[in-house]
Structure 1
Amino acid sequence: MPRRLSTGVGQVTKPIPSVLYKYRDFSARTVAMLCNDELFYADPSTFNDPLDAKPCVEADCDIPTLEKTVLELVRRRVEAEMQAGAQTLKYKGPKTLAHIDKHSTTAAQRRLQNLAYHATNPEYADAGPNAHARLLADEIEQELLLQYDKGILSLAKRYACPLMWSHYGDQHRGLCIGYRVPQAAQSQLHQVKYGGSRNVQASTVAAMLSGDTDARAIVDSTVLLRKAQAWRYEKEWRMLGPHGKHDSPLELAEVIFGMRCEDTVKHTIARALDRRDKPIKLYEIHKVPGTFQLKRRRLNVDELGASYPKRALSVAEACEPVTPSSE
């Protein structure tokens, strides 16, 4: 029976693949991921799609609600930034907390005053009476991007996708890493949704800030798990976490090498993984004759290892030295 995950939105459940894949080039980071059981959570601003993780906020509520939402978003952000700074400097105590609370609230109120002033700018005349609401919605949108400053690990459902090999597997010169999903990690996986709208209603953001868990799920999904329909071929699943490399909650299960991957790379990876507690399955991709389909087959590690290590002098050493003629 397939394992299933609750999305938190309308209690819809979706199957979790038993193995998920990460297409990679052969690099120092890839070797570290394999040898150290590390995963790298990328900054969404580095993604090849500039619309990925970029929501659009709709001003669907009145000015007081929009202002309250901006106030709370800015206050929370400034408070978190100041708390992080105080922790670094080892400042603590009630006076420090009171100063942080006062400064974060003041900063949020000042931001609201600036937005109200800019709404009177003649440049916004075309927006009519909605200029102030539009500026507040834009501010909520920017603050959401700051609030959701998370790293994303992208994983794929399939290992034999030609486009994925071309785009992310260094045109078949790289490899594809397969990870099993243990029970403890299932709740950390989220399936990407394709198509639809990037819009999120300001009223939903306001409800999220008030503690509404359903609203939180809707905002999370719109901000972090929505992509254009054209990316559907990726069949992507995501894990969220702080930016950078972290210990993997997934279990390394297999490595699949691309059709153009060098034998030296295969040998290096095979040797690096041959003493793990749980054996790692090694495969290589090959084409299906007469089709555009790809399949995998087990890598013959013994046959590959028989050729390495290799020395250029070994051929010359195997030959008998030529004795100069006495004539």
Structure 2
Amino acid sequence: MDKLDFIRLLENTTIPEECADAAKYLQPIANALMEIMPPLLFRFRAINEYSLSALDKDLIFCSRAKDFNDPYDSLLTAQSLETILNTDPKSQFSLMSVFRQLLIEGYEIPAHISEVFPSDLLKNLVASLREKSKGSPDINDMDKFTRIVNELKNRVNFFEVELRNSNSFACFSEAISSITMWGHYADYHKGFALSYDMRPLISRPSGNITVMPVIYSSIRFDATNLLASCLGKNVGIPVKRLDMLDSIKSSLYKSPDWEYEKEWRLINTNNILDSHPHLKYAPVGIYYGAQISDINKKILRRIAFEKGLAEFEMYIDKSSSDYEMKIRPLSFK
């Protein structure tokens, strides 16, 4: 199995809202992750009090998507829902009138709609629409309809923000030798990187913590059902959530512009209200940037020695014809 196989497996796996045994769906995903996950993943760090304290305490701090450098990160799109809500209210009202007429003539609700609503709710809704269709709509109905549409738009915007920041993340990379990663995320090669073996985290699937590869795609994840479910429940309509993995899936999609990062993402659905969500998990190695200062290297080496971390330093091989950072192991002196 490779990453493409895993992506297909993930995209084809759905956990319905009423599912009583999510583990049977999660275990095949965990098994696939164990096959494709590299032995080590790397977390690049600048040197400051925050990163030193986290290293000393074996803590991995997670961040919300709003704090990332990608404005599209975890930003939900609900294409069909937003298309409907952004249509001119007069046109929507006209379409509703046509829909009512179709119901009178025996039109059946499409399967992709009926599967997300309770049958009793649809039955009552259809009866109500047919009853209201007996009279001609007037301008007061139109005004009320417009106010409802505008309120729904506001609520969709609210849930887009809330859902985007409901999970927290810690970012890792396969690319320890990447010049760009060291430059962007480790203070221009003056910082350090930590290596982690994440396989124990995924060997037993959990609904709260997972580690998955980012999916680089030119097409954003369509979270229509997720938003519709939240919106419906907010206004008292029990819209079924068809896939309980949709919030995780939406967190994994990024533009191909970021593909050089070779990112894996720890997704934490715990501590939703915690401003600094974290988990305790120890690294197994440390890598010193090629331009780290002597004093910072000395501080880090002391911590690494106390923790028994494998130590490496990055360097430039001036005789090499490529642009890759080189690695050499260090022994404690």
Q: CA deviation at 1:141?
A: 4.9
Please tell me whether residue 210 in structure 1 is matched to residue 240 in structure 2: yes
> Which ranges of structure 1 fall in alignment gaps of 5 or more residues?
70-115, 122-130, 303-327
**2:276 matched residue in structure 1:** 244
Q: CA deviation at 1:119?
A: 6.3
Asked whether the equivalents of residues 158 and 235 of structure 1 are also in contact (C-alpha less than 8 Å), the reply is yes
Quick one: structure 1 residues 137 and 233, their matched pair in 2 at CA, closer, same or farther if it must change by over 3 Å? farther
Q: Aligned to 1:145, what secondary structure does the other structure show? A: helix
**1:172 matched residue in structure 2:** 189
**1:190 matched residue in structure 2:** 212
AA matched with 2:248 = D
Partner of residue 227 from structure 1, selected from 246, 254, 275: 254
Measured in 2, the distance between the counterparts of 1:41 and 1:159 equals 20
AA matched with 1:42 = S
Q: CA deviation at 1:247?
A: 3.1
AA matched with 1:233 = Y
Quick one: structure 1 residues 180 and 201, their matched pair in 2 at CA, closer, same or farther if it must change by over 3 Å? closer
Stretch moving more, 9-18 or 36-45: 9-18
Asked whether the equivalents of residues 195 and 229 of structure 1 are also in contact (C-alpha less than 8 Å), the reply is yes
Deviations, residues 253-287 of structure 1 (Å, cap 9, x unaligned): 111011100122121111123233xx211110012
Please tell me whether residue 264 in structure 1 is matched to residue 287 in structure 2: no
Greater strand content: 1
Partner of residue 146 from structure 2, selected from 107, 117, 120: 120
Asked whether the equivalents of residues 313 and 330 of structure 2 are also in contact (C-alpha less than 8 Å), the reply is yes
TM-score (norm 1): 0.62
Asked whether the equivalents of residues 77 and 224 of structure 2 are also in contact (C-alpha less than 8 Å), the reply is no
Q: Aligned to 2:177, what secondary structure does the other structure show? A: coil
Within-5 A mapping of 1:287-298? 287-288=316-317, 289-290=319-320, 291-298=322-329
Within-5 A mapping of 1:153-168? 153-168=170-185
Asked whether the equivalents of residues 287 and 314 of structure 2 are also in contact (C-alpha less than 8 Å), the reply is yes
What is the aligned length? 238
Partner of residue 312 from structure 2, selected from 252, 263, 283: 283
Measured in 2, the distance between the counterparts of 1:283 and 1:154 equals 21
Q: CA deviation at 1:2?
A: 9.7
Measured in 2, the distance between the counterparts of 1:173 and 1:211 equals 46
Q: Aligned to 2:195, what secondary structure does the other structure show? A: strand
Measured in 1, the distance between the counterparts of 2:223 and 2:163 equals 16
Within-5 A mapping of 1:29-108? 29-59=50-80
Q: CA deviation at 1:139?
A: 3.4
TM-score (norm 2): 0.61
RMSD between aligned residues:
3.5
